[in-house]
Every structure is written in structure tokens, then in C-alpha cells.
């Protein structure tokens, strides 16, 4: 049993994570070296707290994206300050990704997903090697562009004053004056006393350029008032190119001058370069598509605006209704990963979540708009909550070293219990109660969401998923019950009041042992004003034996009502969130 739990919860065994994103614009030259040195400093300084790193690079710019994922229990103000100072000193812009609102986070993730090359979930010791490989590939592209640019520069016509002699097919030598020359051709003027060569005639031309004499075979391609245009034989292009490239670069002062110096060959070269670039981008896009399905532009009647989050089984998008009576309304679209749609069990669980949410009608439960298969994709459409989840609020309180008001904390958990009472009344168990799944809107509306682990009450030997910090002792043994939801609500209340979870451990074994056998630290030791009835009530809610706890969510909610004012606390909540994130 314990082995199964270790396998299932290894990723989250160390606790929750905190994300910091850094964007380095114009990451080339010394800026690139500064960015790489900065990354090296982070990897060395945070070897014990840094879990994973995501990196991405765009061709244009280039722009370097770094997402650092830290263990929450080892992330503090010192780590944050070190990340910000090093990042900004290297010319980067640091973003507290974990604390961004959904729309802002979605905008960043959408921009990150557009990187031409990206690596996700790297271990710290893999980061520098991958970055060097990505930049090496980028340098190869730049070198190719530089070569193409040199070819284009060679094809530019250089105004020059020089003498020339043209030998026609009849061995007549015509003196001429050069007007301009490129690696592919030359424009000359012959004496008005002698007839010019004829169109398509093969000639031999001798140019006395400032950089040296050039002798080459050529073909007459145009004869007009402007002069005689000669195109060099391809075999002679290389020799001519060396002399032409040594000429001073032309200073272009008007559109007419640009036009006169631009050759058809240059235009063709530009076109070829654009086509080559397009082909490279297409290949990279195809490679990325093999590793990760890109976000769709539209799913059924919903226009996708940004990615809110991505999990093991589904993506959640911020979207807008594009047709129908509710056109313009913002929603959240949860889409089952296409690769998981081939798994009958995954589809069944996804559909169960959709049915569960649809059956629950409560003011404090995320509202389901519809569910089904849109454009061949399994989707669940829900109301969009414009605000923060409780985990983000907790992180900000910790970073500010600020306590949450007792009345606001009790009000939050009372509302959570109200929502759980509706879930339990439907003979269901939420199964994943935690601050991450409790959302607070900008106006203070509280919503319980994420019903992906919901089951019928009384299920035993269920797959032990969810966040281990909030699992009840009986849940560790695979028992899926209402008491587990109430335990998680009590753990959440303890964390809101103290900014620390009641049970911790450096490994999954230590954490589960703590939950099974240890008592939480008395509330009054963490916060003086929490002694007395509140401490006693919370201690009872965290009894190891579930028969000693309150057995209904309604009873838990009623017990909390004496600790907050029914008007002042709801008003204080949005003010608190606004102060924390403004």
C-alpha cells in the first residue's frame, strides 16, 4: 500500500511549488553571456530548493524564457530576492508566475508556447547543456542568414566611375564608361559614335575598377537610353564578386537610388531566404507538434484566448464565446488531452467529472455551462473566475510576512464547508480539497472547483491521488470518504491561520508518518490570538480517529460562524486580495 502511494505521489512528495519566470530580450552577444552566467548562478545557489526548469528560445530577437520551479517549503524572501537581483542585473525581467492572475498567466504561457525551441521539465543539471545546444542551433541559423546576406550584398549594384572595353562577337572593341556594377552584371555607356552591341550578344568585357581589373565573358541583356546592361557568365561570377565586394558600400539617399541599385537577383535572393526560413520554421513546428499538441485557436463555438494551465490529463483554456446568445462571454474550457482521449478509462473519468459538476448547483461551486465533444475533442466548459486561488493568496501572505485576519480565514473555510455540504448531499466526495482548488474572485465570490477526483462516498482502495499534504489518515489507506474532505478543510484552516501546514516531511514517507502519528503544533504556539475555543475546535477537526471529528460539513460550517461577522468578513476578503496583489 505504501509503495503504491510513493509511486503515485513522488512528484508532489516534496510539497507544492513556487514558479518564477525570467524573460531575457535580445539574448545575443554579451546579453546572452550575462543570461547564461545568471542561470549558472541560480543553479549553484538553489541546488536544494530548485526542482525543475523550463526553457524556451525564439529565433527572432532572440528572446530567452526561463521558468524556475522551486519547492514551496524551501522558498523564502531570500530566494526570491536572489532570483530578482541576479535576473535584473543580467538584463532580464522577473515575473512571479505563481502569483499572476489567470489571464496574465495565460498570456505569458501563450507567449512561451510560441518559442521556436523549448525544453520542459528539465532537471537543474540538464539546463546549461540544453541552453548551449539551443543557442548553438540558433547560431547556425544566424550564420546561414549571414551568408545569404553576404550574397545579397554582393548582388547590390555599386555606383562607380571606371573605364571599360567591350569586345563584341565580331572582335570589335568598344570603349565604354561603367555606371554601376554588381557581382552578376554591369551597366555601361558606350560612345555615341559607335553602335552598341545587340541584345543577347555574347561579349567579353574588361573593367578597370578601383579594386582591380576584371575580365569576364558576358551577355547583353538590355539596351536602352540608360545604357547597356551586361550579365556576367556564371563561371566568372566568383572572380567578379571578390572585386565588387571590396568596393565601398553604396550610400542610399532616396527611393530612386535604392531602386536603381536593386537587382532582380537581389529580389530573388530575398525571396529564397524567406522561403528557406519558412521551411525551417515549418520543420520546427512539426517537431514541436510531435512532442506537444499546440493550443487550438477554436474549439466548437469557443475562441481560445490563452492557456490557463496544463495537467497530466487535460488543458484549461481561457476562452470567449464566439457565437450564439452568449457571444462575448468569457469561459474556462477544460479539454482532455487528445492522446488521453484514446484511453477509455481517461475518457470515463473526464465524463464523470462533467456529470458531477453538472449535477451540483450551488453558489460556491464552479458552475458548469456545458460539456461534450466539440470538433472531436472532449471538453468541459465552466464559468471563468477572474481572480486568485487560495494557494496564490497564501504565497503572497508568506512573502509579505503578513497574517491573514482570523475572521477572513474562518469565513473562507466556512464557505468551503458550505460547498462541501452540497457535494456530500449528492452522496459524493470531492477528494482533492486544498487551497489550490478554492478560488476567490475580484469581488470576493468564493468557488470550489476541480472535481476530477470526485467519487461516490464510501469507495475504498481508490487510487490515492490528490495533494498529500491534505490527505487524511484514512485516505492514506485508500478510503475515500466525506471525513477526508473535512480533514482537508481543517488542514486548510490551520494553514490560513499560521501560514504553515500542520504536517510536513522531506519525503513522502516522513509526511505520511507525520499525518498518521504526530499531532499538529498547538495553534497558540503559532499565533497567540488563536488560543481558546478556536484552537480546541480545530484540534478536534484534526483528530486521527475520524469518529472523534465532526461528521458533517454542515456541523463544521456552523462551528465556524461564531468567529466572523457575517457582513464585515465578506467585505474584507476582496480588500485583502486587492492589497496583496496591487
C-alpha cell at 562: 461564531
Cell of 328: 462575448
pLDDT value, residue 492 = 96
Q: What is the pLDDT of residues 41-83, one digit of tens each?
A: 888 778 778 888 989 998 877 889 999 988 887 888 778 888 8
Edge-first strand order for the sheet with 302-310 is 298-299, 302-310, 314-321, 330-336, 377-383, 368-374
At 461 the pLDDT is 47
Task: Quote the pLDDT of residue 245.
Answer: 76
Residues 273-311 as b/e (b if ≥16 CB within 10 A, e otherwise) read beeeeeeeeeeeeeebeeeeeebbeebbbbbbbbbbebe
Residue-level pLDDT at 458: 58
Q: What is the pLDDT along the chain (582 residues), one digit of tens a residue?
A: 333 333 333 334 445 778 888 998 888 777 888 888 888 888 877 877 888 898 999 887 788 999 998 888 788 877 888 888 888 888 888 888 766 665 667 777 777 877 888 888 888 888 888 888 888 887 777 666 655 555 544 466 778 888 888 888 888 888 888 888 888 888 888 776 567 788 778 889 998 888 888 888 888 888 877 788 888 887 777 777 778 777 776 554 444 444 444 455 555 555 555 665 566 566 555 544 544 444 568 899 999 888 777 666 788 888 999 888 888 889 999 998 888 888 888 888 888 888 888 888 899 999 989 999 998 899 999 998 888 889 889 988 988 889 999 999 999 999 999 999 999 998 888 888 999 889 998 889 999 988 777 776 655 544 455 578 899 998 888 887 899 999 999 999 999 999 999 998 878 888 899 999 999 999 999 998 888 899 999 999 999 998 888 889 999 999 999 999 999 999 999 999 999 887
Q: To which residue does cell 519558412 refer?
A: 278
Cβ atoms within 10 Å, residue 361: 11
| Domains by residue range for the chain, with CATH | 2-152 (3.30.70.1150), 157-262 (2.40.10.220), 298-383 (3.30.200.20), 387-581 (1.10.510.10)
CA neighbor of 480 nearest in space, from 500, 467, 464, 496: 464
The pLDDT assigned to 154 comes to 46
Grid cell listed for 566: 457575517
* HEC sequence for 1-66: CHHHHHHHHCCCCCCCEEEEEEEECCCCCHHHHHHHHHHHHHHHHCCCCEEEEEEEECCCCCCEEE
**Residue appearing with cell numbers 582591380:** 212
Q: Is 581 in contact with 99 (CB distance < 8 Å)?
A: yes
Q: Report the C-alpha gap between 316 and 384 in whole angstroms.
A: 10
pLDDT at 231: 85
pTM above threshold 0.85: no
Amino acid at each position: 500500500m505504501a509503495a503504491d502511494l510513493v509511486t503515485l505521489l513522488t512528484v508532489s512528495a516534496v510539497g507544492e511549488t513556487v514558479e518564477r519566470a525570467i524573460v531575457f530580450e535580445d539574448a545575443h552577444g554579451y546579453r546572452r553571456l550575462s543570461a547564461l552566467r545568471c542561470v549558472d548562478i541560480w543553479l549553484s545557489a538553489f541546488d536544494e530548493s530548485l526542482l525543475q526548469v523550463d526553457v524556451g528560445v525564439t529565433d527572432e530577437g532572440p528572446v530567452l524564457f526561463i521558468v524556475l520551479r522551486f519547492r514551496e517549503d524551501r522558498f523564502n524572501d531570500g530566494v526570491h530576492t536572489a532570483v530578482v537581483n541576479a535576473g535584473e542585473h543580467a538584463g532580464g525581467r522577473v515575473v512571479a508566475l505563481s502569483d499572476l492572475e489567470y489571464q496574465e498567466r495565460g498570456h505569458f504561457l501563450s507567449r512561451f508556447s510560441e518559442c521556436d525551441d523549448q525544453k520542459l521539465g528539465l532537471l537543474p543539471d540538464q539546463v546549461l547543456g540544453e541552453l548551449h545546444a539551443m543557442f548553438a542551433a540558433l547560431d547556425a541559423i544566424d550564420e546561414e542568414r549571414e551568408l545569404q546576406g553576404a550574397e545579397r550584398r554582393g548582388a547590390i549594384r555599386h555606383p562607380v566611375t571606371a573605364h571599360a572595353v567591350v569586345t563584341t562577337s565580331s572582335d570589335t572593341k568598344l570603349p565604354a564608361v561603367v555606371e554601376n556594377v554588381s557581382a552578376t552584371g554591369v551597366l555601361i555607356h558606350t560612345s555615341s559614335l559607335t553602335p552598341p552591341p545587340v541584345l543577347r550578344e555574347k561579349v567579353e568585357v574588361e573593367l578597370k575598377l578601383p579594386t582591380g581589373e576584371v575580365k569576364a565573358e558576358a551577355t547583353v541583356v538590355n539596351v536602352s537610353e540608360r545604357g547597356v546592361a551586361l550579365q556576367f557568365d556564371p563561371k566568372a561570377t566568383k572572380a567578379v564578386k571578390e572585386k565588387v565586394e571590396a568596393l565601398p558600400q553604396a550610400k542610399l539617399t532616396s527611393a530612386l537610388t535604392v531602386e536603381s541599385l536593386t537587382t532582380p537577383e537581389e529580389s530573388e535572393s530575398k525571396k529564397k531566404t524567406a522561403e528557406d526560413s519558412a521551411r525551417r520554421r515549418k520543420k520546427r513546428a512539426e517537431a514541436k507538434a510531435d512532442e506537444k499538441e499546440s493550443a487550438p485557436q477554436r474549439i466548437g463555438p469557443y475562441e481560445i484566448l490563452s492557456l490557463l494551465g496544463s495537467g497530466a490529463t487535460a488543458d484549461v483554456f481561457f476562452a470567449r464565446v464566439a457565437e450564439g446568445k452568449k457571444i462575448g462571454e468569457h469561459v474556462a474550457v477544460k479539454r482532455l488531452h487528445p492522446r488521453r482521449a484514446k484511453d477509455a478509462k481517461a475518457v470515463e473519468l473526464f465524463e464523470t467529472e462533467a456529470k458531477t459538476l453538472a449535477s451540483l448547483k450551488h453558489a460556491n461551486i464552479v458552475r458548469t455551462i456545458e460539456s461534450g465533444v466539440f470538433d472531436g475533442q472532449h471538453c468541459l466548459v465552466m464559468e471563468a473566475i477572474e481572480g486568485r486561488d487560495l494557494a496564490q493568496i497564501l504565497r503572497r501572505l508568506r512573502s509579505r510576512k503578513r497574517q491573514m485576519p482570523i475572521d477572513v480565514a474562518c469565513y473562507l473555510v466556512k464557505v468551503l464547508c458550505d460547498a462541501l455540504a452540497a457535494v456530500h448531499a449528492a452522496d459524493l466526495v470531492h477528494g482533492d480539497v486544498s487551497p489550490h482548488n478554492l478560488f476567490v474572485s475580484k469581488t470576493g465570490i468564493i468557488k470550489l472547483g476541480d472535481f476530477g477526483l470526485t467519487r461516490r462516498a464510501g469507495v475504498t482502495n481508490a487510487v490515492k491521488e490528490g495533494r498529500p499534504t491534505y490527505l487524511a489518515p484514512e485516505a492514506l489507506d485508500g478510503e475515500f470518504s466525506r471525513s477526508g474532505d473535512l480533514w482537508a478543510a481543517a488542514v486548510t484552516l490551520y494553514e490560513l491561520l499560521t501560514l504553515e501546514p500542520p504536517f510536513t516531511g522531506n519525503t513522502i514517507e516522513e509526511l505520511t508518518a507525520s499525518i498518521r502519528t504526530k499531532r499538529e503544533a498547538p495553534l497558540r504556539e503559532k499565533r497567540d490570538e488563536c488560543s481558546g475555543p478556536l484552537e480546541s475546535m480545530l484540534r478536534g477537526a484534526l483528530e486521527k480517529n475520524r469518529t472523534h471529528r465532526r461528521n458533517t460539513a454542515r456541523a463544521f460550517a456552523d462551528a465556524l460562524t461564531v468567529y466572523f461577522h457575517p457582513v464585515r468578513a465578506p467585505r474584507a476578503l476582496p480588500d485583502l486580495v486587492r492589497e496583496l496583489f496591487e
